[in-house]
Structure 1
C-alpha cells in the first residue's frame, strides 16, 4: 500500500511537469511572451524556445516579424537561420517584432541569468537606438526599405511599443530584468525624449487646433502619409489612442504634453460614433461577414480612418478609392481589416484622474486683448497662432498685436477678412517659424488647388508681420504657397518666406503691399500675383533655373511689382534665371538699383509663349548692377528707364494710399 501511494505521487509529479512543459504549445507567440512571468520560464520548453529566439536574431540586433518562435525547428531549419545571421532584410519593429523577443529574453534572464540572453537583449536595444531618425521617429523597417516602410510608423503601435520599452528601461522600473550600462542608459533617455518630441510635432493641426495622429507620417515633413493602397493619409482613431495613453503615462509632463493630451481627448470626444455596432458572422473561427447595425445600447465606436480636413470616416478597398460606408468595399478588405475600434475608451476612462493630477489650465484670463503672446510651451496667452487670431476682435478700432515667441509652429494660419489691423510680431526671424506642407496634388481640389496651399493666408486689411519665417516645406512637388496675401495695405519687415514653386502670392486688384528687408526664395514663379507691391532692400533667391516673377497686373493698374535696392542671388548650380514672365498679358515688373548675380540670363525676360504679351507687358530696369545686369542684351520689348522716368517710382507713388493713422502713413509703419 505504501509503495502504491509513492507510485501514484510520482506519477502525478511526472504528469504535472509534463503539463508545465506542454501547457503553452497551443498558444501564439504573442501570448507566450505576455504571460505572467513565473517558473515556466525556467522549464526546458522555455529554454528550447529561447534558443529559437537567439537563432532568429540577426547580427544587426533585430528580428523579422510574424515568427511563431515556439514552433520546434529541424536541424536543417536551424542551419538556414545560422546562414541568415548577416542578412538585414525584413528586420523590423512592426507587429511587435524585436520588442516581443526582447521581453521574452528579459523574462528568461530573470529566471536563468545566462549571459547569452543578456547579450541578445542589449543587442536588440542597440538596434532600436540605431534605427531612430534624427527627428525622433522610427521607421517600420531598419535598415530602411523603399516605399512607405520608411515612414515614421505609429501603425499597429510600432513606435509606441518602442517608447514604452525605452521608458521602462530609463526609469529603472524593474519591468525588464536586464540593465544596460550608464552610457547606454543616457542614450536610452535621449532617444525617449526625442521620440516624445517627434510625437508632439506630428500631432495634426486641423484649422489651427491640435487633433490626433495618422498611422504613419512622412520622415522628412512629419505630415500624414500614405501606406498601403487602402491606408491613405488620415486621422487614426486606433493608433492615436495608444499614443495618448503613452503621453498620459509620462511623469511630470511638460505643458506641451498636457496640451497635446487635452486637445487629443477633446478630438476623441468630438469624433466618437454612437448608435451603431459592427455585427460579425463567424465560420470556423474566421469572420465571414461584417455589417453595420443600428444599436443605441452599443458602446461608442471610433473609425480607423478619418478625413484630415473634417474628421469624416472613410473606407478603402485595395484600389485606394475612398468610400463613405463599410458596405461599399469588397468582402476581402471589409472582413479582413479593423475599420472600427473601441480602444480610445480606455484612454478616456483614465483622463479624468490624469487631469486632476496634472492641473490643466484650460483657459487663461487675457490681461490685454489687443496685445497678446503666443508661446508653444504654454507660457503665453495662447499656444498656437491660429488660436490667437480666432480670439481677436472683428474689425477692431485699434491694432491687435500678436507677439510670437521663438518656436516652430506647425500650422496653417488664416487671418480672416474681419481680422483687420492684425500684427504678427515674431521674437526673431531665425527662430520664429510658421511651417506647413500643403501642395497642389495634396489639396486636389481641381485646377485652382494652388490657392488653397498657403501656410499663411492673409485676408484682413492693414496686416503687419515682422521678425518671422514662413515656410512651405512640401519640397519640389509643384505649386505650394508659403504666403498668400489677399488684402490691402499689408506690411512685411525682416521676414523670410521659403518654398519652391509659387512661394509668395500677392493678390487683390488695386491692393497695395510692401515688403521691406525680407528674404524670399523659390524655384518657379515664386513671386506671383496681381497686387501692387514694393520690394525694398530684399534678398530674392533662386533655387533652380526658372523664373522669379509671374505678375498678373490688371490692365489699368499703374504699378505691378517694383524691386528697389534688392539683391538677386541663387544656389551655386543655378545659371539660367529669368527676371519674369507674364502670368497675364498686362504684367508690370520693374527692377531699380538692384544687384543681379550671374544667374540672371542676358535676355532677362520671357514672354511665356505669348507673343501678344510683348506689346502689352511693361518690364523695365534702371541703374542695376552686377554680372546679371546686361541692358544691351535684354529682349527688345523690355525697357531701360531714363533717370527722369525712374523718378516716378517713389514709395509714395507706388503705395500712395493716403490713409493715415496717428502714427503716420501705413507704409511708413
Structure 2
C-alpha cells in the first residue's frame, strides 16, 4: 500500500455526496489534502482552494506552514500574498507544509489538467531537491533558519513525508498524477537514495547495537540533537516507527536496510509499555479538555515519545527543559498539548512478519560464508554491516587466524574483541576511509573512579590480535579521559593505523603483555599513551594536540621494558610549545626514545616526575641518537639517561618483544 493511501486511512476521510460536491470548508487542511481522489477535485470549490494554494506558493517553490488553504481570501489578502512571492521566510516542510500542497495539486491535476498546477508541483519538487543536505538529510526550513531548525528533521515525519513523495515519483506508482522530466527523475532517484543512506547513518547505536532514531539529528555530526526546550536528545518511539515503515516499503531492500529494520523491530519490542491506556477527557459538548494515562491490562502496547539514549528509559519534559520521570510531573499545558505516548510502532510489529516473508529475511543469527574469512561492509554487500557482529560470529579459540575484512565506511560502534576471540585480524580497506568511531568519555560513562576503562571505542582482550589499514577514534573531544583503543592482550600488532583522541587515546594494558605498533599515527592531548604493557612503537608519528604529556607508563617493577619508540616522528599542532615526553603513572615507569625526530614542542627538560620525587630513583627514562629541535640532552632532567651505543643495542625487536613475536605477525 502506498503512503498516500495509507495516510488516507488514518486521517478523517471526507465523505462525498453522490454528485461529489460535499463542502469541506469545515475540515482541516490536512484532512482535505489526504482525502481520497474523486470528482470533488473537479468542483468549483476545489478549484477555488487550488487558486489559494497557487497564491501561497513562494517563488522558491515551497510553502509556509499552518495555513488553512481552504479559507476564502479577500482582495487585500490576495494582493499581500502576491507581494510576498519572492520572500523565502518561513518556507518549510514542517507540519506537512509543501508536501500537503503538492498532494492537493496532484489530485487537482488528475481531474483538471491545468498547466499551472503541474508547474507549481514541479517547482515544489525542485524546492525539495535544493533543500537536501549533501549527507542526504533535510532541514526543517529552507532556506536555512537559525537555531535547531537546521537539524536533520524527522520530527512530525517531515523527512519521511518528503521521501514518500519522492518514492512515489521515482517508482511511478501512479499515486501522483504529475510526472517529472527524465532529468528531474534522475535527480529524484539520487535524492531518495541519499535520504535513505542518511537514515541508515543516523540510526542510533546504544552500546554498539542499532536501535532507533531521534526526532532530530545534528546536520554535521549526525548525532541526536535538541530542538525545543522540551524536545531533548532522545530516542523517539513515534518518529522511528514511520521511518521503519518507510524502509519496509522499499522494494528489494539492501542488506543494510534489512539490518536497520531488524534492529529497530528488536528495539520496539524491547521498549513497548504494557498495561496502560491513553484516555481523552471531553466536556458535555464533546470538546477535548484533558488526557490521562490510566492502567488497563488489556490496552494495546504504547511507546514513549522520548526515551533516554543510554537505556531507553521514558522521560517527560516541560518548557523548563527539566526531565521528569512521569507525565503527571509536568504542567497541564504541555501534558495536554503534546503527544507523549504513541501506538504507531504497533503497525511496524504487525507488518514485520509479512515483510520478513516477502523479503526472505531470516531473523536467526547470520552465519558468514567462511568463518575464517569474513567481510564487513556498510552497504550490506558483505557478511555483516557492523564489525561487532563479525566478532560475535568468530570462532572461539580458533585453530587458525580469523580475518575480518572491513570495507571503507564510518562504523559508529563500540568494538569488543573478547578474550576467547584469539587470532583475530581486522583488515581495513584503507587507513583514511575505514573508520571505527564512538564518543564515550569518563563523565558520560559515570561508573565511578574507573570509568576511563569503560570508554574505549575498541577494546581488545583476545591474544594475537592484528589491526591494519584503519582508523580508531574516540570522537568525544576535549572532555577528559576518553580512550580510543584499549589493548589488554598479548602479542598484538597494529600496522598503518590511525588512533585519534584527546586525553588517554591509547591504553596498553597487561603486565608482561607484548604489543607492537608499526607505521601508525597516534594523537592526543594528555597522557595519550598510557599503561603497563611492553610496547614497541616503530616508525610511528606521535602527535600532541595540547601542551601536556605524551606518555604515562605504569611499567611493573620487575618488567625489563616499558615503552620503546624507535625511528618515530614526534610532532604537534602549531600552537603547541610545551610537551613532556612522559611522566610516571606508576613509579617504575620505563620509556625510551631511540633514533626519533623530536619537534620543537618538546620541553628542554624532557621528563616530569608527576610530583613523585621517589619516581626519580625508580623510573627509567632514556634516549639514544635522537634529533630535531626538541632533542636537547644537555638540558634534560638529571635523573633521565642518554644511552651509549652499547646500551642502545639492548633495544632490539627480539629483545623487546621476544622470540614468539615475528615482524610478519
Please tell me the TM-score bracket, short chain as reference. 0.7 to 0.9
| Contact 2:408–2:429, Cα closer than 8 Å, also in 1 | no
Q: Distance in 2 between matches of 1:426 and 1:449?
A: 29
Distance 1:604 1:109, change over 3 A: farther
| Contact 2:404–2:424, Cα closer than 8 Å, also in 1 | no
Q: Distance in 2 between matches of 1:639 and 1:78?
A: 86
2:461 matched to which residue of 1?
Answer: 459
1:5 matched to which residue of 2?
Answer: none
SS at match of 2:61: coil
SS at match of 1:568: strand
Question: How far is the alpha carbon of 1:536 from its aligned partner?
Answer: 0.9
Deviations 1:358-390 (A, max 9, x none): 122444555664554434454544433212322
Q: 601-610 vs 82-91, which deviates more?
A: 601-610
Q: Distance in 2 between matches of 1:499 and 1:122?
A: 47
Distance 1:617 1:341, change over 3 A: same
Q: Distance in 2 between matches of 1:447 and 1:26?
A: 63
Matched length = 643
1:36 and 2:32 equivalent?
no
1:290-439 equivalent positions in 2, closer than 5 A: 290-293=292-295, 295-363=296-364, 364-365=366-367, 369-394=371-396, 396=397, 398-408=399-409, 409-439=411-441
1:30-429 equivalent positions in 2, closer than 5 A: 30-283=30-283, 285-293=287-295, 295-363=296-364, 364-365=366-367, 369-394=371-396, 396=397, 398-408=399-409, 409-429=411-431
Q: Distance in 1 between matches of 2:320 and 2:608?
A: 43
Question: How far is the alpha carbon of 1:600 from its aligned partner?
Answer: 4.5
| Contact 2:531–2:555, Cα closer than 8 Å, also in 1 | no
Give ranges in structure 1 of 5+ residues lacking alignment. Answer: 1-15, 659-663
Aligned residue among 660, 665, 668 for 2:661 = 665
Q: Distance in 1 between matches of 2:213 and 2:500?
A: 26
SS at match of 2:108: helix
Question: How far is the alpha carbon of 1:22 from its aligned partner?
Answer: 7.2
Distance 1:370 1:555, change over 3 A: closer
Q: Distance in 2 between matches of 1:227 and 1:445?
A: 29
Question: How far is the alpha carbon of 1:551 from its aligned partner?
Answer: 0.6
Q: CA RMSD in A?
A: 3.2
2:622 matched to which residue of 1?
Answer: 620
Deviations 1:563-588 (A, max 9, x none): 111123445x4452514353636354
Aligned residue among 500, 515, 518 for 2:517 = 515
Q: Distance in 2 between matches of 1:338 and 1:298?
A: 17
Question: How far is the alpha carbon of 1:227 from its aligned partner?
Answer: 2.6
Q: Distance in 1 between matches of 2:610 and 2:142?
A: 47
| Contact 2:258–2:361, Cα closer than 8 Å, also in 1 | yes
Distance 1:322 1:546, change over 3 A: same
Q: Distance in 1 between matches of 2:105 and 2:415?
A: 49
Q: Distance in 1 between matches of 2:521 and 2:174?
A: 54
| Contact 1:208–1:387, Cα closer than 8 Å, also in 2 | no
1:498-513 equivalent positions in 2, closer than 5 A: 498-513=500-515
Question: How far is the alpha carbon of 1:457 from its aligned partner?
Answer: 1.4
Question: How far is the alpha carbon of 1:153 from its aligned partner?
Answer: 1.5
SS at match of 1:306: coil
1:563 matched to which residue of 2?
Answer: 565
Q: 137-146 vs 155-164, which deviates more?
A: 137-146
2:657 matched to which residue of 1?
Answer: 655
Question: How far is the alpha carbon of 1:433 from its aligned partner?
Answer: 2.8
| Contact 2:583–2:607, Cα closer than 8 Å, also in 1 | no
| Contact 1:489–1:511, Cα closer than 8 Å, also in 2 | yes
Q: Distance in 2 between matches of 1:339 and 1:585?
A: 52
Q: Distance in 2 between matches of 1:268 and 1:110?
A: 39
Distance 1:159 1:218, change over 3 A: same
TM-score normalised to structure 1 length: 0.86
1:532 and 2:534 equivalent?
yes
SS at match of 1:471: strand
Give ranges in structure 2 of 5+ residues lacking alignment. Answer: 1-15
Distance 1:347 1:254, change over 3 A: same
Distance 1:421 1:245, change over 3 A: same
1:559-598 equivalent positions in 2, closer than 5 A: 559-570=561-572, 573-576=574-577, 578-582=579-583, 584=585, 586=587, 587-598=589-600
Question: How far is the alpha carbon of 1:165 from its aligned partner?
Answer: 1.0
SS at match of 1:134: coil
Question: How far is the alpha carbon of 1:139 from its aligned partner?
Answer: 1.7
Q: Distance in 2 between matches of 1:220 and 1:404?
A: 28
Question: How far is the alpha carbon of 1:216 from its aligned partner?
Answer: 1.8
| Contact 1:575–1:598, Cα closer than 8 Å, also in 2 | no
Distance 1:187 1:548, change over 3 A: farther
Deviations 1:615-664 (A, max 9, x none): 776543321223443444556665433333333323344335x6xxxxx4
Q: Distance in 2 between matches of 1:72 and 1:441?
A: 57
Q: Distance in 1 between matches of 2:141 and 2:632?
A: 54
SS at match of 1:398: coil
| Contact 1:551–1:561, Cα closer than 8 Å, also in 2 | no
Q: Distance in 1 between matches of 2:406 and 2:618?
A: 46
Q: Distance in 2 between matches of 1:637 and 1:445?
A: 38
Q: 460-469 vs 234-243, which deviates more?
A: 460-469
1:482 and 2:484 equivalent?
yes
Question: How far is the alpha carbon of 1:324 from its aligned partner?
Answer: 3.6
Q: Distance in 2 between matches of 1:154 and 1:610?
A: 54
Question: How far is the alpha carbon of 1:296 from its aligned partner?
Answer: 2.6
